[in-house]
């Protein structure tokens, strides 16, 4: 049962344009959503997060939007740069038996073309 889904395995965007990565979830108990970025041969690194009580969080070129009625979140990168080429994982947090747990999506490989 995939509670967090990233339906696009890959995305290719021209340098300088906007990159939009999408994520859908099924569990209404998630209270925090996160995006992680992963380069080859490295572990994922935290990028940006949003609480379920908000609908937008911005950090420099990165903005995450949350639409709770649609159970959908997206990550916008503007403008896209070659260094943004990586795999992006969407994750959602919930409390289970008093413990915070993250559920990850499958990942989307973003390629920024010069």
Where on the chain is the footprint of another protein (CB under 8 A)?
4, 6, 9, 32, 34, 36, 41-46, 49, 89, 93, 99-102, 104-107
Q: How far apart are CA 111 and CA 33, in angstroms?
A: 23
Least spacing, CB of residue 5 vs another protein, in Å:
9
Least spacing, CB of residue 6 vs another protein, in Å:
8
Closer residue to another protein, CB minimum distance, 13 or 23: 23
Closer residue to another protein, CB minimum distance, 36 or 110: 36
Closer residue to another protein, CB minimum distance, 16 or 46: 46
Name the residue among 15, 34, 28 with its Cα closest to residue 91: 34
Q: How far apart are CA 88 and CA 106, in angstroms?
A: 9
Name the residue among 54, 66, 94 with its Cα closest to residue 76: 66
């Amino acid at each position: 049962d995939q509670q967090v889904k990233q339906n696009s395995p890959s995305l290719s965007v021209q340098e300088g344009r906007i990159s939009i990565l999408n994520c859908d979830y099924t569990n209404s108990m998630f209270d925090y959503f996160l995006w992680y970025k992963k380069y080859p041969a490295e572990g994922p690194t935290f990028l940006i997060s949003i609480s379920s009580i908000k609908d937008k969080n911005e950090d420099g070129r990165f903005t995450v939007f949350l639409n709770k009625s649609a159970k959908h979140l997206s990550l916008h990168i503007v403008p896209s740069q070659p260094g943004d080429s990586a795999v992006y994982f969407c994750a959602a947090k919930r409390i289970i038996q008093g413990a915070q747990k993250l559920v990850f999506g499958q990942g989307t490989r973003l390629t920024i073309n010069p």
